[in-house]
Amino acid sequence: MTVGIEEVMLPEEQLIGRTFTDEDRELLRSYDGLIDGLAELFGKHCEVVLHSLENLHESVIKIANGFNTGRNEGAPITDLALRMLKDIENTGQDYTQSYFARSRTGALMKSSTIAIRNSDKQVIGLICINLHINAPFHEFVAEFFPTPQQVERQSPETFANSVEELVAQTVDNTIDEINRDPTVANNAKNRFIVTQLFEKGIFDIKDSINLVADKLNISKHTVYLYIRQRKQGEDENE
């Protein structure tokens, strides 16, 4: 979808908001972390905006990388955002197709708009994601590659199709980690493995105790013992 007009701010007399409840406001504020997280993921050339439809004069209640369009929190909604809202309401979808537009600064943006609905299925907010595609290509691409420091800190992530697979893969990875550690004696490896799994939060998963016990060929009581010892160590250090 291509929008051939510049995105502009609307005159205040054209802006009429909606009636909100405290629940609506709380729901919108729960998206603050998502706004920052998306901006962190896509980098500085991605502007992410959270609009509240309660007060269209100051609809921007959260914005990350707002320098891309020269906006701050408290800015009004734009004509283009209102057009996307109409499209969403007319189609019943919760998002728009991606589209192109130019900001006030002349930057070409590839954008998408996502609706936030309350418990009554009413649209109360919008998340607008704007990629500044006029940015220097090397700067844009650099956002998606790790720095040497980030490479050193990177941790493997297990993508599984079931809880059993997640636990099994995490146990296998932890066994490999412990086996590569020459300071861990053979008769202490199971205890170290259980301790590492505890620190990774694997025991927050239901039935993981039994799954780990079967994987390590030890009793679940032994697993509980190692976990208690780990927790006691935490209590002693507090």
Q: How far is CA 3 from the centre of its chain?
A: 28
pLDDT in tens, 98-114: 999 887 778 899 999 99
pLDDT band of residue 154 (cuts 50, 70, 90) is low
CB atoms within 10 A of CB 203: 18
Question: What pLDDT does residue 158 have?
Answer: 66
Backbone angles phi, psi at 17, to 5 degrees: -85, -170
User: Which residues in 91-111 are b (16+ Cβ under 10 Å) and which e?
Assistant: eeeebbeebebbbeeebebeb
DSSP H helical ranges for 79-219? 79-91, 137-142, 148-153, 163-179, 189-199, 208-216
* Model pTM above 0.85: no
Strand ranges inside 39-155, DSSP E: 46-52, 60-64, 99-102, 108-117, 123-132
CB atoms within 10 A of CB 202: 20
pLDDT in tens, 9-59: 544 444 557 889 999 999 999 999 999 999 999 999 999 999 999 999 999
Domains and CATH numbers, the chain: 2-142 (3.30.450.20), 155-237 (no CATH)
